[in-house]
Amino acid sequence: MIGLISATAAGAAARDRLAAAWPDRTRVYEGPVGDAVRAAFAQCEQLVCFLATGAVVRLVAPLLSGKTEDPGVVCVDEGGRFAVSLLGGHAGGANELASEVGELLGAEPVVTTATDAVDLPGLDTFGLPVEGDVAGVSRALLDGEAVALRAEVAWPLPPLPVAEEGPYTIRLTDRLVEAAEREVVLRPPTLTVGVGASKGAPVEEVLGLVRDALRGAGLSLASVAELATVDAKAEEAGIVEAAQRLGVPLVTYSAGELAAVDVPNPSDAPLAAVGTPSVAEAAALVGGGELLVPKRKSAASPAMATCAVVRRPGRGRLAVVGLGPGARDLLTPRAQAELRRASVLVGLDQYVDQIRDLLRPGTRILESGLGAEEERARTAVEEARKGRAVALIGSGDAGVYAMASPALAEASDDIDVIGVPGVTAALAAGAILGAPLGHDHVSISLSDLHTPWEVIERRVRAAAEADIVVTFYNPRSRGRDWQLPKALGILAEHRTQETPVGVVRNASRPDESSRLTTLGALDPATVDMMTVVTVGNTATRDIAGRMVTPRGYRWQSAQEGSE
C-alpha cells in the first residue's frame, strides 16, 4: 500500500489525482502531517509526501530502522514539478515509484542513487539474496574498475560491465560460502527440495532434515526455490509450515506424475502409502535438473520425514523485440524495458545502431549484416540456452516478416520466450495515409528470395478476387524490378484504374515521404525497398487527400444515399 500525505490545497489536489488513478494501491492519510507520516510509515510499503524534502527528512528521521525495513519515500514539491526519490530507492522501490508518479502527474522524476544515475542496475535490485561488500563492489563498477563475474550456476542476470579478472568479484552461486573481501555473493533460487513425511510429522523434524541436508552438501538455504511433494501431502501440517517458515512455495504433483520419474532410490513404502515408489526424489526431479542430495531420512526414530535436493539452473530468457518503424516515440515502453534487461543483444547492424543508446553498460552486442537472419536466430537461441537474458531485435513487429519466426523455429521448451509487439510498417504507413486499413486487409511481401513467385502470385490473385486492401512489403529493389508491376497488374484485373494507392517511404523516419496516387498512375520505378505500397479495395476513396476504406459497405452505401 502507498500512503499519501499532503499539507496544502495544491498538494491535496495532486494527492487526489494519485488516489483516483490508483484506488487499490493508495491510502490517503488526513490530519496533522506529523501524525499522518508516522502512521503511514508504520502501515505502508511506500509513501508519497506532497511536502518539502526538508520537512519529510525531519519527520521520518526518528522512524528509520534500516535499509531493508524502511518503506520507500517519494516527495513531490508544491508546484508538482519534481518527484524525488528520497528514501529506499532500491529496497523500498522509491526510484521506480518516482518514475510512476512523475509520469502520472507530469513531474520530472529525480533519482540520485549512484547506480541509477549512470544506468547501472543495483546489485540489490536483482531480486536475489545478496551478501558481502555491496557498497565496495558497486563503487568499483561506478568507477570503472575491473569487476569479475564468477557464475557457478546459470542465471539470466541483467547486463553488467564485468571483466574476466579483477580485484573485485560478483559471485553467483547456490553454494554455502561466505563472501570474501571485495566480493558480493548473489544466491539465485536454483534448488528444489523434494520432501516426504509420515502423517503428523512435526515441522521441526522436516525443517531440521532440510537444513541438515543442504548444509551437508554445502548448499545455501537462501537458494531454495520451492519445496515439492505429492498431492496426498498437500495439507500435511509439517510440510506446509516448513515451506511457510522458509518463505518458499509448496508445489505438489500427482502420484502418477511422480511414479513416471526415474529415481535412484525407489521404495515400496511410499508406493503402498500414496501410490508412487518415490516422493522426495521424484518430486525434486519431476522438473528435471541435477540430483545433488539423494533421498535421506530424518535423524528421528522412527524417521518421519525424507528429503532430496535437485539443482535446476535458471532458464534462459529470449525476448523477441519489435522496434517499430523507426521513430523513437513509436518504440514501446515494453520494448525499451526488454532492451535494458537483456545482457545479450542480437540483431541486424543497422537496427542495433538505431537503439544502441538505450542499452545498459555491459550489454554484449552480437550484430551482423543483411542476409544472416537464420544465423542471428540460432545465435540468440544458443545464448538463451546458456542461461542468459537475450534480446533479439527486428524492425516493425518482430513477428511480421521479421525475426520471431526463425527464432521460434529454433527454440524448444528449455528456454522462456517473450514476444514484444511493435508498430508495423503497414500500420505506420496507414496512419500517414489516413485510414486505408479500415476494413479487411492483407500484407504480402513481394520478395521471392525465400518464397517462390508462384506462391506469391497465387496470394495476390486471392486478395484481388476477394476485394481486400493489400499492403505490399519489399515491393521493388534493383535486382527485383518486375514483381511490383506484375502484382499491380493482377489487382487491376479486379479494380479500376482510379483505385487509390498510398506510397510511403521510410515511414516515421526523418526522411519520411508519402503520396496518394491511383492504380493507373503509380510508376513502379519510384518505389524501392524502403517503401510500403498500400492498394485500396473497390470501396476505398480519396477523401480530402486522405486514403479511406470504410468500415463496412453498408456504411458507405448509407453515406452515398444521403448525398
3 state SS of 287: coil
Give the containing element (helix H, strand E) for 97.
Answer: helix 94-105
With a cut of 70, which residues of the chain have pLDDT below it? 114-119, 553-563
CA angle 227–230–235, rounded 5-degree value? 80
Single out the residue of 17, 11, 142, 22 nearest to residue 77, CA to CA.
11
Number of H helices, E strands in the chain: 19, 28
- Omega of the bond prior to 302 within 30 degrees of 0, cis? yes
Amino acid at 381: V
Interval 196-224: pLDDT, tens: 999 999 999 999 999 999 999 999 999 99
Q: Alpha-carbon distance 97 to 116, whole Å?
A: 14
531 contacts 504 by C-beta, under 8 angstroms: yes
Amino acid at 298: S
536 contacts 436 by C-beta, under 8 angstroms: yes
Single out the residue of 499, 492, 495, 539 nearest to residue 518, CA to CA.
499
In this predicted structure, what is the pLDDT of residue 534? 97
What's the Cα-to-Cα distance from 9 to each of 68, 95, 220, 561, rounded to whole Å?
Answer: 33, 26, 53, 56
- Bridge-based pairing state of the strands 344-348 and 147-151: unpaired
Interval 176-196: pLDDT, tens: 999 999 999 999 999 999 999
What is residue 125's DSSP assignment? G
Is-above-0.85 flag for pTM?
no
Which residue bears the cell 522426495?
280
Q: Alpha-carbon distance 482 to 409, whole Å?
A: 31
In this predicted structure, what is the pLDDT of residue 562? 46
Instruction: Please count the residues of the chain.
Output: 563
In this predicted structure, what is the pLDDT of residue 111? 84
In this predicted structure, what is the pLDDT of residue 96? 86
In this predicted structure, what is the pLDDT of residue 115? 65
Buried b (16+ CB within 10 A) or exposed e, 479-503: ebeebbeebbebbeeebeeebbbbb
